[in-house]
A and B are shown apart, each in its own frame.
Chain A
Amino acid sequence: MSGAHKKQNSVFYVLIAVLVFMSVGPVLLMFVNSFKLDVDIIGGTTGLLFLPTIQNYETALCDILWYEPEHLDFCALKFGGSFINSLIIALISTGLTLVIGCMGAYALVRFRFMGRDTVSLTTLMVRMLPPAVLLVPVFGLWNNEFCLDKEGLIGGMIRESFGGRGDVCLAGTHSGIILIYVAMNLPFVIWILQSFIVQVPRSLEEAARVDGAGPFQVFFKVVLPLIKPGLAAAAIFTFRIAWNEYLLASALSDRDTKTVPILIVNNMSEFNVEWGVIMATGMLLAIPPIIFTLFASRQIITGMTAGAVKG
């Protein structure tokens, strides 16, 4: 009996090992390959018998290294700049989405007001929007309509102080990409946070109100601290989308506001697939999400379950 049980158990552990290998394997493969030269990757020196090199990382990061890597004639990739763009865009849009999103969620949960149902329903509906659907209008609007005339007061001031040419448009700026990311993520954040706010006991809020706190004080001092786990989950998901998104960023960014996913796709140029460098850039892009996964998996799972179950 116990023998059979043991046998069953070992089958079970083998299964788990296989699963872990399957889910982590490709990432490990990328990690290992990012330390190989292209000749080693293509040439088929299989296995782990190779001389690890950081050359690929040097190529990727050449614009922010303090020395000039010997194997490069010029710095083509400018990964560092894109990485900074990605960071700026992902962090600011996550911050904004969270603040605005939890205020909205709070209003939807705690107050009855005119248009509440409409807002609630719209929020749910736009959550289904694929980014590809937004591509055409966002491209058109951000480039042509959401502009300030360069002759106008504010537009003129911006051109005067920041340089650049033509009308001042949202396209090609960090703010333009941030705006669409905030908008895209808001419905999801509102949706998740609602389920956390519902659980905050009303009595606490009322007690604070009796003590003379205004609605905003109640919100920031009482409600926010209590929904921290929800905020963490929402933050990770928002960051993940803003960090990983490619399509809209590629339509909106210009040479100074490129994010890392764009750089990676661009770098898979048809003339020269440099696997080693691509894997290195992929690895660098994957690092923040990997860190989140390792340190905040509990919050991620909370967020996922809240997002799916509390429809």
Chain B
Amino acid sequence: MLKSLKSTAVGFATAALMAGPAISEGHGGPYADYAGTTLIVNFPAHPHYDAVMKILPEFTKETGIEVEVDQLPYLKMRERQTLELGQDEGEYDLIAYVVFSKADYVYADQLENLAKYFMNPKLSDPGYDADDLIDGYVYNIGFAGGNKGYLQGKTGSLFGIPYGSETSILGYRKDIFEKHGLDVPETYDEMLDIACQIPQLEPGMGGVASRAASGHHASHAFLLHLAPLGGRVFDGEWNPIVNNAAGVQAANALKSIVDCGPEGAKNFGFGEALGAFLNGDTAMFLDTTVVAGQIDDPSKSQVVGKVGWALHPMGTRRGSQTGGFGIGIPANAENKEAAFLLMQWLTSKKGDKLVALAGGNPSRFSTHGDADVNAKFPHMATFGEALKHADPDWRPIIPVWGKINADLGTTLSKVLTEDLDIQEALDGVAERTRAVMEEAGYYTWN
């Protein structure tokens, strides 16, 4: 009760503060009706959303809408959202969600369909230019109801907007590659080859920094290799094919990366893997694009200015990950219209550029090509190129995925630490996955 007292007091104070200038300065236009509203939003603790925190004051200044942010680590964020979205009336007006939460939320009817907001002339900004948003991400994060149920397609519609688009990219140490006359790897074979040469060329240094810790870290790292090597988790009929040749090859790739990796690589989460690269313990880094900001930050990084970027190496095809977050409006939110205004502002051309300049990951083609942004972050053009190869189907987005993902991650971690046979391990995953899918009703039509 005390806390409600506190938040109300804060609410009153801000309302009183905002009401004054909002009226006297005469905020006209679309935001006038909502000035003084306080939106409660749920964002992850993540470099992109740290950048968002820096630009939110700009939004408040412009619109008079206050934003209170509840920032949580993203697994926690999901737990919290599960609880909040299940209530009749929830606290959050706007949420950021991970891609695979999309399946759960849309399936349980907990996210607003955005059509009615974009149709509302009072809310929808005519200059928004939705075509400029990166296609793969809109389909991956925003759409539901199309092909396979979770992709774009004739039956699909929009439930969220990608915000904080990431893809995988290869960072490499220019100095090390130059010193030993190595070429930047284009293919998987080349990358694995160089990865295992590094420990001999530079004693004490590992090849590639990769996550591998039990759970979603290991699973993520595996899926990262699965798509470019030509594999998929399911075939067209939802049969698990994670144990086919491509799957085994991907697991082997992960294993050699970890074996030729830095000290302790078997138990690296994302933070440790990045830390190793920042500390100069590895020559390469293959993971999401969000790290660029930290690599250039001298208070965190020992490799400032030494890192070059290249596309995620090819296997049988190019297929980098589509990850990151989307933002959507919970069906049980209190201030849905104001929340839409915030969402539209954040993903507009202006907002996207602001967040990119603050160190975030832009979601628009135009921002990746923007001269100011490229002047500040020269890697942005490569990142834009990488986004074109982003594979929206690199991992399935179905409600039971959480369970399969946990199993996959635990099993792979056993492969890495306990030398479980790869084929046997993946066969086990496939078998258990089949049971999960059976129970969830995916084979009803077979």
Contact = CB atoms under 8 A, between A and B. Distances in A.
B4 A162 contact: yes
B78 interface: no
Interface stretch (B69-77, B125-133, B138-146, B194-202): B69-77
Interface stretch (B87-95, B172-180, B374-382): B87-95
Given A76-B50, A76-B53, A255-B70, A270 B88 contact: no
Interface stretch (B97-105, B294-302, B315-323): B294-302
Contacts of B279: 42-43
Q: Classify the interface of chain A: helix, strand, loop or mixed.
A: loop
A163 B8 contact: yes
Contact of B7 (A37, A39, A88, A164): A164
Interface bin, chain B: 35 or more
Q: Classify the interface of chain B: helix, strand, loop or mixed.
A: helix
A2 to B, nearest CB: 51
A136 to B, nearest CB: 13
Contacts of B230: none
A173 B7 CA distance: 12
Nearest to B333: A165
A12 interface: no
A219 B54 CA distance: 58
Contacts of B119: none
A309 B73 CA distance: 43
A257 B71 CA distance: 14
B40 to A, nearest CB: 8
A255 B290 CA distance: 26
A257 B45 contact: no
A23 interface: no
Interface string A26-49: 000000000001110011000000
Nearest to A89: B2
B73 A272 contact: no
A266 B73 contact: yes
Given A164-B4, A173-B1, A174-B2, A266 B45 contact: yes
B300 A39 contact: yes
A271 interface: yes
A272 B51 CA distance: 14
B88 A167 contact: yes
B45 A175 contact: no
Nearest 3 Cβ contacts at the A-B interface? A162-B4, A256-B3, A166-B89
19 contacts: A39-B298, A39-B300, A42-B302, A74-B53, A76-B50, A85-B3, A143-B83, A158-B1, A163-B7, A164-B4, A166-B91, A167-B87, A174-B2, A175-B1, A254-B91, A270-B73, A270-B217, A272-B45, A273-B271
